[in-house]
Structures are given as C-alpha cells and as structure tokens.
Amino acid sequence: MSGQSLLVPGELSPTRPVPGNIRRPEYVGKPAPTPYTGGEVQTPETVEAMRLAGRIAARAMAEAAKLIAPGVTTDELDRVAHDYMCDHGAYPSTLGYRGFPKSLCTSVNEVICHGIPDSTVLRDGDIINLDVTAYIGGVHGDNNATYLVGDVDEESRLLVERTRESLDRAIKAVKPGRQINIIGRVIESYAKRFGYGVVRDFTGHGINSSFHSGLIIPHYDSPQATTVIQPGMTFTIEPMLTLGTHEYDMWDDGWTVVTKDRRRTAQFEHTLVVTDSGAEVLTLAGPRC
C-alpha cells in the first residue's frame, strides 16, 4: 500500500452561489430537513423526474472526474460539478444540507465518506471518491464513484475495482419479493473473499422528493433489514469497503469520516428504481445530446 502521509483539513473557499431561478430543496437555510412521511414506492411521474436528476448528477460527476490528476485541488472538482448542475437547472443537493458547505463530497484515501472539498491538493497515488447529488423537478438523483489519481499501487487499485464489482453484484440481487438484507449479504460475502472491512454505520437510503427518506439499505447482512422489496421503490446502494477495519473516527468538522486504522477505503453508488423483474439504474450519464 502507498506510504503517503495522512490527509489533513485544508482551507474552504467561499460558498458558491446558485442562480435564483433554480428551485431549492426545502431544507436549504434550515438546520435539518423536514422528516419524510411519504411511501417508498414512487409514481411513474416521480421516477421519470428522478431519471433526469440522476442523469444530471452522473454527468456532473463525470465532468468533475475529467480533472482528476496530481496537483488539482478538491475545491476545483467542486467548482466543476457545481457549475455543471447549475448550468443544467439543478440544485447541488449537498449544498446547505444540514449545513454542509459544498456541492459534492470529495473523500480521499482513508476518508470513508463526506469529505469536504477544500484546498487539498491531489497527489500521485491517491484515490478519491466523488459523491454528487442533483435536485431538479422536486426530486434527487444521487451517485458516487472512486477514481485513481496518477500511478496507484496495486492494493488500492484492486480495492477500487472490487468495490465497484460489489455494487454491480448488489444491483443484480435486487428483486421484488426479496428482503432488503439480500443487498448487504451479497456485498459482505464478496468483500470477505478479500479480507475487506464493510462499513456498517453509513448506509444506502431511500431517495425521492426527500434526499434521505428514512429507508435504510445496509451493506452488510443485517437481520433487521427485513423490508420487502417492491416494484417502484427508489433507493441508493453505496457500498464502502476498507483495506482494514470498518470502524471510524470523525473529524472536528462533523462531516469527514475516516477509517480508525487510517487504511484506505473505496465506495461506489447508484440510485435505483425497482422494476417487476429487478432494478433500473437511474444515475446513468447516457448519450450526450
């Protein structure tokens, strides 16, 4: 594994403005969102709106990822994703969510999730997760992926590759009539082949008009996850695998979550809708117009 020094907080740039004509989620400017009281099964109209939100989120992430290279700051990646979403009429869902100050999460090396973009400069050999969510048409689309920065060591490269594979396997396991715990069972059994830790305290979630509906999608085999999967349900799957322990510490910023042993971690995420036969991924960039 890379012997690079551990990450430390950088300096934050000023909050990026969002054009006034772009609709804000209801939680912007509030300490917390209003609790979601709707169902987990969505109408065809809501799902269609989520396809657009998901496509914009996927394309914003792809645009930011084009810049990933040694010497680039995580704040610059935030700028690109922010501008892409705003230019396409979407609000960056993370901006102002429970006070989060930026338009995407940038989680480098030992950061499990919720890293805040700042003046941190990417180094050759790093890995970085970009987590982008777009809000448009009254709904959210949420996705993330882990990318290699320059020449990455084999252990880290395999972790990233296998984390992506764990998401793909979990998506294939989604079938109406099964319980939610099939998702975590598939991820955990695959991760155990390689001795990876599976993060337990941060999960996938229901998503629709609410960023986090209250539905929990564990990435380990949880006996409590007995909710039955139904057509029309929308949720994320976002496995977080580690080279060591699944336990974590949190920085003083209240957001940045790092592995307790400071070993590397990777994550991938898609937003899905359950179909009659399986699942459709809603966060696909699709062909350019």
* Per-residue model confidence (pLDDT) at position 228: 98
Contact 237, 202 (CB under 8 A): no
Closest listed residue to residue 79, CA positions, set 147, 146, 127, 13 = 13
- pLDDT tops 70 at residue 288: no
Rounded distance between C-alpha atoms, residue 226 and residue 219, angstroms: 13
Mean pLDDT of all residues in 169-176? 98
> Would you state the torsion angle of the CA atoms of residues 181, 56, 113, 109, taken in this order, to the nearest 10 degrees?
120
Kindly state the percentage of the chain with pLDDT values over 90. Answer: 97
Contact 103, 56 (CB under 8 A): no
Mean pLDDT of all residues in 42-50? 98
Contact 142, 271 (CB under 8 A): yes
Number of neighbours of residue 200 by Cβ within 10 angstroms: 16
* Per-residue model confidence (pLDDT) at position 1: 44
pTM of the model: 0.96
pLDDT tens sequence across 264-285: 999 999 999 999 999 999 999 8
Both tokens assigned to 201: 């305290």
Closest listed residue to residue 145, CA positions, set 124, 169, 166 = 166
pLDDT tens sequence across 75-119: 999 999 999 999 999 999 999 999 999 999 999 999 999 999 999
- pLDDT tops 90 at residue 287: no
Instruction: Indicate the range of 3-7, 201-205, 213-217 predicted with least confidence.
Output: 3-7
* Per-residue model confidence (pLDDT) at position 2: 52
Phi then psi for residue 79, to 5 deg, are -60, -45
Contact 157, 190 (CB under 8 A): no
pLDDT tens sequence across 113-167: 999 999 999 999 999 999 999 999 999 999 999 999 999 999 999 999 999 999 9
Rounded distance between C-alpha atoms, residue 131 and residue 144, angstroms: 4
Mean pLDDT of all residues in 51-69? 98
Closest listed residue to residue 165, CA positions, set 146, 180, 143 = 146
- pLDDT tops 80 at residue 289: no
